[in-house]
Amino acid sequence: MSYKQWAKRVQAYMAHVEKLFSPDLFIVGGGVSKDADKFLDKIKINAEMVPAKLLNTAGIVGAAWLADNRSSNPGLVMDPKTSMRVQ
């Protein structure tokens, strides 16, 4: 699938997410973030979209940070069964 085709699908999804949450910013991570220059300009939404500064490693670094900070900030962690913050 070309980036043009892919961006069209992402456009539809992001427009829906934008209507639900009204964010100011979307940060695109994962493997596709390294090619952000090939598709971000094709997605037209109100919120700004930027690639994660850490690109594909952003999720791993974020998970490691959360694991390291979880004991000092227990409110950062959500209980997967209840979707409520752990206190």
Q: What does the pLDDT read at residue 79? A: 64
Band of residue 86 on the pLDDT scale cut at 50, 70, 90: low
> Taking Cα atoms as reference points, which of 79, 20, 11 lies closest to residue 44?
11
Chain segment 5-15, per-residue pLDDT in tens? 999 999 999 99
For 56-73, what is the mean pLDDT?
A: 84
Q: How many CA atoms lie less than 13 Å away from 36 in the CB half-sphere?
A: 16
Whether residue 87 has pLDDT greater than 60? no
Instruction: Give the domain 1-53 fold.
Output: Nucleotidyltransferase; domain 5 (3.30.420)
Q: How far apart are CA 29 and CA 15, in angstroms?
A: 18
For the chain, the structural domain boundaries read: 1-53, 60-87
Report the SS3 class of residue 48: strand
Taking only the tens place, the pLDDT of each residue in 15-45 is 999 999 999 999 998 889 999 999 999 999 9
